[in-house]
Structure 1
Amino acid sequence: MKYRAVFVAAPLLVTAYGALRIVDGLDGSRGPGPAWTAGHLAFLAALVLFVPIFWEMRRMLGRSAPATAAVAVGLAGIGCAFAQFSIDVVVGFMAADHDAMTPLFEQVKSVPGVSVAVYTAGPILFYLALAALVAALAVRRQVAAWVPVAVLLSVLLPLASLDLMPLGGLLMFAAFLPLARQGSSTGRHASVHA
Structure 2
Amino acid sequence: MAFAAPLLLLAYGVLRWMDGLDGHRDKQGAAWIVGHLAFFGSMVLFAMIAVALFRRTRMGRRIAAVAAAVSVFGVACFLWVIVGDLSASFRDRWPLPGPLEITGPLLFVLGMSVLLSLQVAAGRVPVWSPILFFLGYLAISVNLDLLPLAALVILAATVPLGRPGTGSRRVTPAVSRLH
The TM-score with structure 2 as length reference comes to 0.84
Residue in 1 aligned with 2:81? 84
Q: Which residue in 1 is equivalent to 2:128?
A: 146
Unaligned runs of 5+ residues in structure 1 are 1-5, 95-103
The sequence identity of aligned pairs, in percent, is 35
Equivalent position SS for 1:141: coil
> Which amino acid in structure 1 is aligned with residue 6 of structure 2?
P
1:136 is matched with which residue? 118
1:60–1:183 CA contact under 8 A, matched in 2: no
In structure 2, the partner of 1:184 is 167
Deviations 1:137-186 (A, max 9, x none): 22333211121221111111112211111111111112211111144314
C-alpha RMSD over aligned residues: 2.1
Q: Corresponding residue for 1:121?
A: 103
1:40 paired residue number: 36
Higher relative contact order (CA 8 A, sep 6+): 1
Letter paired with 1:158: I
Match of 1:157 among 126, 135, 139: 139
Q: TM-score, normalised by structure 1?
A: 0.78
C-alpha spacing 1:84/1:7, structure 2 compared with 1 (3 Å)? same
Which secondary structure does the structure 1 equivalent of 2:20 belong to?
helix
For 1:152 and 1:51, the matched residues in 2 are separated by: 16
Give the 3-state SS of the residue equivalent to 2:167 in structure 1.
helix
Q: Which one has the bigger helix percentage?
A: 1
Specify which of 167, 173, 177 is matched with residue 155 of structure 2: 173
Contact 1:108/1:114, CA 8 A, preserved across alignment: no
Structure 2, unmatched stretches of 5+, are 172-179
- Residue type of the alignment partner of 1:154: G
Of the structure 1 ranges 128-137 and 79-88, higher mean CA displacement relative to structure 2 is found in 128-137
**Residue 52 (structure 1) aligned with residue 48 (structure 2):** yes
Q: 1:29 to 1:108 in 2, by over 3 A?
A: farther
Equivalence for 1:25: 20
User: Which residue type is aligned with residue 11 of structure 1?
Assistant: P
- 2:161/2:167 contact within 8 Å kept: no
- What number of residue pairs does the alignment pair up? 168
The one-letter code matched in structure 1 to 2:5 is A
In 1, Cα distance between equivalents of 2:24 and 2:10: 20
